[in-house]
Structure formats: structure tokens, C-alpha cells
Structure 1
């Protein structure tokens, strides 16, 4: 554990750890994680954003307690990894904490996020989405925190962009603190954005049900940007741990 991890852990010491993934093994623990493979077709081609990447089981490694998601261009194909805890770990309310090092370059789009567990029944965005971390290489030094709901669909009004000059340097800690009435987002212990609506209809607040975790790095697309800089590839999205605390 590095010194900044020790300091940050003091802040959450009063919370009870209910789930963690430390990536200590040599292969991904499939009791905890599912792979989502391919290009999203036929149900969600381009994974809903015209992304060109293909997700595989071979674009990651576990080394020395870190998950390395590898973003590559192989011949004409872009490849990456997307894993989820759907049906294996789903939870309602809590403090999600992840420590990660970002990949960089135009077209790179790493994310740590969550979807409502009912998304296969009601669809997106009615299921809700919590974006703990999004970063796009076309906008250096910017962290995105967003909440997608039926009410904000098409506008993404529940979002905040924060400039952090050194965000590409080394590891940083990303947190979403989710309670029955509010969600707060932090980086390295600093509060970046709070969402606390006055009305809690399903269209505005679908966050009163279990959600599951997703880790991935997309490439390009409507949000990542279609101007992909192939010269920066390969890149790695490195994740030290993901922990969920009862708040």
C-alpha cells in the first residue's frame, strides 16, 4: 500500500467494507466478473455510441496486484476489455472507491461506472447509469462525472467536468458515495460533484435499486471522439483495486 492510500483509507475507516477486488491473482476471478465481448451487435452495435472497438478475453493481464486493461490496434481492428459484476455482485447504496491510472491519447475513453440491474427489463436510460470516472483523451486534464436518467436523456444535464492538471500522472482515487437521496463524486478525497434532486421519480432518480459495476476502456465513438490517434497505441488502463463500503 502506498502512502496516499493509507491517508485516504483513514477517511473511510468508519465505513464497513462489503466487497472488494484487489486483483491479487494471476487471472481474472470469474466468480466476481463477467466478460462482455465483441462489438455489441446485434443488440447494441458500437455499444450505443458508434465505438469501433472489439472487446476480448485477451486484452488484459493481472500483474503484482494490478489489472492492466490493454487498448490496442491489431491490423485494422481496435481491441480492449470490458468486465462487469452483473448477477455476481449487485448492491444498493454505498461508497465505491477505485484506484486507477489512466491511459492517454486522442480516442481513448476509460471508464469506471455502474448500471441499474434492471436494465435488461426496462432498458437504458430508465435503468439509470452512474459514471464514477470517465476520461476522454481528446480533452486532457478533465474528469467527467455523470448520471444518466430518463429525465436527462439526450442532454446529460446531470454532469460535471472538472479540470485536474495532473490527472494523467500516476494513480488517483475515484469515489462515488451513493445514499438514498444523494450521490457525491470525489477524486483523491476532493468533492467534485453532487446530485441531490428534490423530486425522486423513476425518471429523475432511478437510483433506488441495485446496481452493478463495469470496468472498460472504449475507443473513439461519439463521446471518445472519431479522431483516434493510432500512434499512441497500445495504451493501458491500470486498476489497483475496487472496493465497496456500506455508508
Structure 2
């Protein structure tokens, strides 16, 4: 959550971390965490999935006390988690500024669930009003040993009440934290009027943010002005509704209480972003179920990459060793001459560590060249054997969809 680390402590990991690499699913999408919040009205959240934090947050100068009361976080019997911010003076609680004025809730999965890479998504209806600050975000699970922001922080969705039509996605790390976090906003409808889906697709050296399936920002190490990329280890999830703070400002006479953040679900999948173990390999299928193939099984630099009926030969055996490359026949999938324009030919080339050979697989099943931010595309939507591949703007069309 932008502008500060957590002020209250989170429990040490008491359960094994679940990482995409440990999920047993390499390539095909696998669900690793899901909460549909289908409990009866008034029920507490599932303690096997969520830790309910208590305390205040002096770092952000928030005004609420987080409680473990079901008056602040409970299922509604209609398939939603409801996080409620109330204006009240909770008994026996003092906040950093004196007697607390508000209560709310903050939940995290520390010690219950962590993951490296994947598709992280929640469908939510946001509160409204000056001073409201809902967030769906993540922290590196090593925060207890390295501190914030060295642990890394990924804000999947934040909204401040004075911007009802805008949500923000941000990363915070060493040298780019707090107000220096790197991110962007997405402007759309009033997000308090209905449910919307907020997500990231996180792969090695790339994070992409989307709202209702619309990708609005991509971040890679090249965006950090030489600072360190710290998004290469397990993170845990956080949901909260803050009241006041440096960024949103305090509630005023126009703010009505109680306010509610409604969460339909939280889901995490491996989303095809997990690199298989070194030395592993498998087919990559695309348009018409055909396989990504090295033409004529040639190992010469510049050999075109095409689609052909699957035949299980080495020219269709692709591995992802975890360094951002995709390899076959001992060489790398490569954008010709490091091109970034539409129509750049995709070929086989000696692995050389350049951006032309850096690829990420999104939860939407796109294979994206990171520097170009363009998709691996079958030329002309041609499903015939020998159809060549290129880079092209990501359109969501079938000729850009792959199963790794």
C-alpha cells in the first residue's frame, strides 16, 4: 500500500509457502489460491487462508484501528467479503494520534499462502467518499528479515476517495518507495457503482496490470532507473480498507459512514508464467492446436519460427530455464535485430542475454517480448503448416494465444 510499510507486525510464516514452482503445474494454468467468500451472512473469514491484523498505522498516518471483529470483516451470505469502515470510538483502543475515531479491517495471507509469479486477481466494488483508501496488494515474504522496501511491494489496486474514477497500480522497492513508487493510474467508470476486476500478470522481469481485462501498464527492470528489481521471490496478499492518511487525506463532512469494500473473490493461478526446471522442455501450442516449431529443425542462426502440426520432435521441444528465455535445439527464441516494430520476424539465434530474447507468458496466454511489449503472433492468422511468426501489438486474437 503506497506511502509506507506496515506498522503492525505480521506473523512469521508458519505454513509452507506455495510457489508456482512447487504447484506441480508447469505450463498449464493451475489454481493455487482461491477464496470465493461463500460463507453465511456475518461469518468471519477463513482463518486457514487469512490473518486478520489488528492495530493502527502511524507510517501512513491512517486514522482507523484495524480490528478482528466481524463488524469490520465478514461474509454477507451473497458470495462477498464485506470490509466495513465505521466511525466509532472503539473501547480500549488508542491510535497514534490519540483516541481512535474509526475502525476497519486488514487481512493478509502471510504464513498461509505465498507465491512467486502468476496471475493475481480480485473482483471488487469500492467504497466512496473523501478519505477512503481501499487496496489489494502484496508484500515480499522476506519483509521480516530485509525490511521494507527491500522486500518489495506490488500494489495491484489502490483507490483514493477523491478520485472515484481512477485506480492505481504501483511497485515500491529500494530507491523507489513511498511517494517515489513507480506506477500508473487507470481511469474508467466510478468504481463505487459496480464490481470490477483488478489483476496483475507477474512473470520474470515483468509485471502487467489490468482492469476488467484491459492492460494499462507494464513494468520491467528498465523502468527502475538503475535501482534493484526485487520481484523474484514469494509474496503474500493483503486486502484492506484504510481511512485517511497522507495520500487520501482525512474524511470530511461529506463522507458518509459506514463505508464498505465488497470483495466477490480473490484468485491466484500459475497462469503459464512459471519457468520449468532447467533442462526441462515441452511443446508450445497455438493457433488450431499446432505447435511452435523451428523450421526444418535447423540450428542455424536466423532460422524462422513457425507453426506445424505437433510431431514431438526436438524442433518443438521448448524449455524456459528461468532467465526469461525460451529455448529449443540449444538456441533462443529471438526478435530479429532486436526489433520492436510490428512485423519483426521471430527466429532462432544463439542465446546472448539481450532483450530480443526476453519473453514473458501472461495469464491471458500471450507470449510477450519484454522490450517491445509486443506479442508472439502467427502472421496473417494463417493456421496452415509453415505459417511464420512475428511480433505484433497484443490484440487478444487467437493467433496470439499459446499454451506453454
Common topology (TM > 0.5):
yes
Aligned residue number for residue 34 of structure 2: 20
Aligned residue number for residue 192 of structure 2: 168
Show the 5 A alignment for 1:87-166. 87-166=111-190
How high is the TM-score relative to the length of structure 1? 0.87
Aligned residue number for residue 62 of structure 1: 75
Is the contact made by 1:69 and 1:237 (CA closer than 8 Å) also made in structure 2?
Answer: yes
Pick 1 or 2: higher relative contact order, CA cutoff 8 A, min separation 6.
1
In angstroms, what is the RMSD of aligned CA positions? 1.9
Q: Work out the CA distance in 1 between the residues paired with 2:181 and 2:46.
A: 36
Deviations along 1:125-161, one digit per CA (max 9) or x if unpaired, are 1111000110000122111110001121244241102
Q: SS in structure 1 opposite 2:193?
A: coil
Query: CA 1:202–1:68 in 2, change beyond 3 Å: closer, same or farther?
Result: farther
Q: CA deviation at 1:200?
A: 8.6
Higher strand share: 1
Aligned residue number for residue 232 of structure 1: 256
Aligned residue number for residue 342 of structure 2: none
Please list every run of 5 or more consecutive structure 1 residues that lacks an aligned counterpart in the other structure. 1-13, 41-45
1:71 aligns to 2:82 (yes or no): no
Which consecutive segments of 4 or more residues in structure 1 shift more than 6 A? 199-202
Aligned residue number for residue 11 of structure 1: none
Q: Work out the CA distance in 1 between the residues paired with 2:199 and 2:247.
A: 22
Please list every run of 5 or more consecutive structure 2 residues that lacks an aligned counterpart in the other structure. 1-27, 90-99, 272-404
Deviations along 1:171-225, one digit per CA (max 9) or x if unpaired, are 0000011101100000000011110123899952111010000000001110121
How high is the TM-score relative to the length of structure 2? 0.54
Number of residues of Structure 1 aligned to a counterpart in Structure 2? 228
